[in-house]
Amino acid sequence: MSDLLSRREFVRSSAAGMASSVVMGIPHPMRPPRPLPPESRWAAKPVVIASANGLRGVQKAFDLLLQGADTLDAVIEGVKIQELDPSDDSVGYGGLPNRDGVVQLDASCMHGPTKRAGAVGCLENIKTPSEVAKLVLKYTNHIFLVGEGAKKFALSYGFKEEDLLTEHSREEWLKWRANLNPDDDYLDVPEKETMVVRPTGTINCDAVTPGGDISSVTTTSGLAWKIPGRVGDSAIIGAGQYCDNDVGAAGSTGRGESNIKVCGGFLTVEGMRRGVAPTDACLATLKRVVSATESRLLGARGRPKFNLTYYAVNKRGEFGAASLYPGQYAVHDGAEAKIRDTAHLFEQT
């Protein structure tokens, strides 16, 4: 605790001196870093929550919050770790491609203090769609750019066009294609050889600052082997994530189509608006998902054949997460970054 306090004192005494170095590390910051208010005047407990693949991200974002960085800048710098990590095949560089072997990325973000939002869908050849979504939010009068237009927009701000397929993601796509039809011209992958099932993968990250400001971001490479042009929930404001600076923020990972139908990010925040605790708000949204699920996606016991997880934090810094089936999430609760188990509705399908 003494180290944390000394860090805060350092930030307050030297904010002006360190501001330029922090800004230099954050492309297109929402604002320069600010000194933290005296601890006695903190409006909220600073917290960063994310999906389970965001353990490094919540630590990065929390560190930036304690350096006075803007809340949206902090969460985007956090998720960029996964976007740039080729070993995470659900996000950014190395993400599993669509049916044609092309990686198409989606992302959206919301900035509580300014009540603004930005999103991109079907973005190709740009590694960090979360950053592009922030540029849409910051520099345009629009909210959502897609496809070739989104890429041209990113290139105009200095992003480099790059091949997002890694050797791993290319090999998994080739295996999937080979096993599509036993009568096609490709040789099937032998049964004994491990083959990636059709995964959904994403990273959501939400944060509240000591001053009580909130932001959220969700970024993904989407459903593996998807129909080209498919956009999931991650790019949809109110579904993949939602933020209200007076209430809190929430986001999701899992089957995007099921989340879109209930506007899950928005619905979870609305639950917190009514005073429901974050975990309970996530569980209530999951119950809505179950009730809205068509029969073909339900198992013999009437339970969904897919998984879906919600993450939430309110303005006071209370947080929680819940999933249809047992899962985990990452959080920095003000003391340390850790992995926790989600609440869940069902033990098994």
Residue 30 is which amino acid?
M
- Among candidate residues 200, 202, 218, 342, the one labeled active-site is 202
Please give the Cα distance from 195 to 191 (Å, whole number). 9
- What is the residue-wise DSSP string for 145-160? EEHHHHHHHHHHTTPP
**Of 279, 245, 284, nearest in space to 262 by CA:** 284
**Of 101, 139, 136, nearest in space to 121 by CA:** 136
Please give the Cα distance from 121 to 20 (Å, whole number). 32
Residue where the block lists tokens 């397929």: 165
For residue 26, give the 3-state DSSP assignment: coil
Residue where the block lists tokens 């740009």: 126
Instruction: Check if 279 is active-site.
Output: no
β-strand 319-323 against 343-344: which pairing, if any?
parallel
Question: What stretch of H or E contains 235?
Answer: none
- Give the residue numbers annotated as catalytic, written as ranges: 202
